[in-house]
Structure 1
Amino acid sequence: MIAGCAWCGQDDMAVWCFERMVEEGEVEPDDGTLAAVLPACGRMGNVGAGRWAHEYARKAGLLDRMVHVANAVMDMYCKCGDVGSARAVFESMQHRSVVTWNTMIAGCSLNGHGAEGIELFQETSGHGLEPNAVTFLGVLGCCAHAGAVDVGREIFQSMQCDYGIEPVIEHYGCMVDLLGRSSLLEEAHALIREMPMKPNPSIWGALLSACRAHAGLGIAEVALKELIDLEPWNSGNYVLLANLFAETERWEEAGEVRRLMRKMSVNKAPGQSLIEEAEFQFTNGC
């Protein structure tokens, strides 16, 4: 039930089933129970239930015996924003798998602890660990948060040269994000053009975000046109391009974009506002 609810996206129900199981006390949770409920706790940000599961795993000896349980505890803490607790679990582990290191590095990236994640990656070689493609996704994300452009370039090059791992589109996306955050827009654009696969909306979106942050209007126009070609149904891309033309006083081109929207029957999504209180939730514009 717990695993099924989590698989169907009903994380709150999964946690509720876990709490009910504990309260009734007829069956004790095992490693499978914890491996199923801890990711649900992380996705919900329910650190209270996650801490209880962690403490149960420690007392039952599952934390020391089952590496996948310890990995799940670390992942839960990282998703709840408690990197310190995740690192404490990591340091206490007697046996670590590549998934353990990946979880900790990715957790650092998720929470903006870029320098710490890079240091962990550099430690892997000293432990005789062979990083995999997921390891590089995590550490490249850390490089982006830390602004470590030179380190990121070296790591990206080492994937294939030193480890024989062919970069996939997600790795290129991390590099575009890294270069874009450092205002190296031309280099990021050149990397996209040199990719061995066709760029997807996430790649162009990462470049566009960088252009908006660093006033790269020329490249932003290229990115938006590519996004419109890939996502002709997405009204936001049309609006951004029209606004870009308007900001540069290219009124005729801005009008053409608006006319293209009407021709393609693309409607602008209405704005929404959300106010959440302890007992009530109000939504406008739905």
Structure 2
Amino acid sequence: MQRYRRSRRSVVSWNLMIAGCARYGRDDMAVWFLEGMVGEGEVAPDDGTLAAVLPACGRTGNVGAGRWAHEYARKTGLLESTVHVANALVDMYCKCGDVASAREVFKGMRQRSVVSWNTMITGFSLNGHGVEGIELFQEMQRQGMEPNAVTFLGVLGCCVHAGAVEVGRDIFQSMQLEHGIEPAIEHYGRMVDLLGRSGLLEEAHALIQEIPMKPNAAIWGALLSACRAHAGLGIAEVALKELINLEPWNSGNYVLLANLYAETGRWEEAGEVRRLMRTMSVNKAPGQSLIEEARFQSINACQ
């Protein structure tokens, strides 16, 4: 469009490129297009621009570009006039680990939708602020905002981080009894994680057996991790058999059980798990580290 001068780039042109890159996993390029749009200076970003680029900033951890978008939204009035821009800012800050800035944006919102509440509660859960997330959920109810399935997924995650078993039980039961929301597999997974981390392995196992749909690998994996933390060998072996059937290629399941055997002095069983990995040609996945620099991020894999 620029080379042949056939048509002038509009804000729609830029927004389509930014949103398209973000949608198909090219978050770095989405931010690059925003920089190009601002640098060219012919078209000003609008609410659609910010709503498209802020999720990309959050996924890449590019808090610098996100803060620029925040300041731009504040100066142009988009922050106060458009709820979805404020929601996107809260989400971006939470994903970048800046909970204080996310809370500040949330508190400054004149109007809040259920998405606003969900984003902040989920952000608390994402960053391990379980108590704050539970308190915000209670405030949401006091203000008469009806929660949805996403709300319950977020607040149950907060209960996991806070170790609030009784609160989690009450919230989980209220989903269907008080709000008419049928728990999905993800909600059951959060409850299994909550019970397992609290050492209630038998109750967590019993809950899995009561799930109306087929338990997935995430649920069995949560139970297996809990068994390692609380030395539940019997249930761990059950969980591993289920995981091998669901994802025999996942090395993490074998490593967890082998470490559990080793920590309890059962070296022969630990060796058998390692031999089983070799027999099934399962290789241990390499670890990863994320390093953020001034203008870019790089991921280094270490064997």
TM-score in terms of structure 1 length? 0.90
Evaluate the alpha carbon distance shift between residue 256 and residue 123 of structure 1 in structure 2; reply closer, same or farther with a 3 A threshold: closer
Deviates more, 1:112-121 or 1:242-251: 242-251
Q: Is the CA contact (8 Å cut-off) linking 1:39 and 1:72 kept in structure 2?
A: yes
Evaluate the alpha carbon distance shift between residue 230 and residue 282 of structure 1 in structure 2; reply closer, same or farther with a 3 A threshold: closer
Equivalent position of 2:98 in the other structure = 82
Q: Is the CA contact (8 Å cut-off) linking 1:236 and 1:268 kept in structure 2?
A: no
Evaluate the alpha carbon distance shift between residue 102 and residue 167 of structure 1 in structure 2; reply closer, same or farther with a 3 A threshold: same
Evaluate the alpha carbon distance shift between residue 237 and residue 88 of structure 1 in structure 2; reply closer, same or farther with a 3 A threshold: closer
**In the alignment, which of 88, 91, 95 is matched to residue 107 of structure 2?**
91
Equivalent position of 1:258 in the other structure = 275
Q: Return 5+ residue gaps in structure 1 as ranges.
A: none
Deviates more, 1:235-244 or 1:169-178: 235-244
In the alignment, residue 275 of structure 2 is paired with which amino acid?
R
Evaluate the alpha carbon distance shift between residue 281 and residue 58 of structure 1 in structure 2; reply closer, same or farther with a 3 A threshold: closer
User: How far 1:73 moved relative to its partner?
Assistant: 0.5
Q: Does 1:137 align with 2:153?
A: yes
Evaluate the alpha carbon distance shift between residue 242 and residue 21 of structure 1 in structure 2; reply closer, same or farther with a 3 A threshold: same
Structure 1 CA distance for aligned equivalents of residues 278 and 281 of structure 2: 7
**In the alignment, which of 111, 114, 138 is matched to residue 122 of structure 1?**
138
Evaluate the alpha carbon distance shift between residue 252 and residue 84 of structure 1 in structure 2; reply closer, same or farther with a 3 A threshold: closer
Equivalent position of 2:78 in the other structure = 62
Post-superposition Cα deviations, 1:10-44, rounded to whole Å, max 9, x if no partner, equal 11111111011111111100111000100011111
Equivalent position of 1:211 in the other structure = 227
Structure 2 CA distance for aligned equivalents of residues 205 and 139 of structure 1: 21
**In the alignment, which of 1, 4, 21 is matched to residue 5 of structure 1?**
21
- Where do 1:38-53 residues align within 5 Å? 38-53=54-69
User: How far 1:7 moved relative to its partner?
Assistant: 1.1
User: How far 1:83 moved relative to its partner?
Assistant: 0.9
Q: Percent identity?
A: 72
Q: Is the CA contact (8 Å cut-off) linking 1:235 and 1:267 kept in structure 2?
A: no
Equivalent position of 1:221 in the other structure = 237
Q: Is the CA contact (8 Å cut-off) linking 2:228 and 2:256 kept in structure 1?
A: no
Evaluate the alpha carbon distance shift between residue 259 and residue 102 of structure 1 in structure 2; reply closer, same or farther with a 3 A threshold: closer
Evaluate the alpha carbon distance shift between residue 173 and residue 51 of structure 1 in structure 2; reply closer, same or farther with a 3 A threshold: same
> What is the total number of aligned residue pairs between the two structures?
282
Q: Does 1:18 align with 2:34?
A: yes
Q: Return 5+ residue gaps in structure 2 as ranges.
A: 1-16
3-state SS of the aligned residue for 2:121? helix
Q: Does 1:33 align with 2:54?
A: no
User: How far 1:255 moved relative to its partner?
Assistant: 3.9
Structure 2 CA distance for aligned equivalents of residues 150 and 58 of structure 1: 41
Evaluate the alpha carbon distance shift between residue 260 and residue 272 of structure 1 in structure 2; reply closer, same or farther with a 3 A threshold: closer
Equivalent position of 2:87 in the other structure = 71
Structure 2 CA distance for aligned equivalents of residues 44 and 141 of structure 1: 23
Deviates more, 1:219-228 or 1:241-250: 241-250
User: How far 1:214 moved relative to its partner?
Assistant: 1.4
**Cα RMSD for the two superposed structures:** 2.5
Deviates more, 1:31-40 or 1:8-17: 8-17
Equivalent position of 1:105 in the other structure = 121
In the alignment, residue 250 of structure 2 is paired with which amino acid?
N
Structure 2 CA distance for aligned equivalents of residues 28 and 142 of structure 1: 39
Q: Is the CA contact (8 Å cut-off) linking 1:41 and 1:50 kept in structure 2?
A: yes
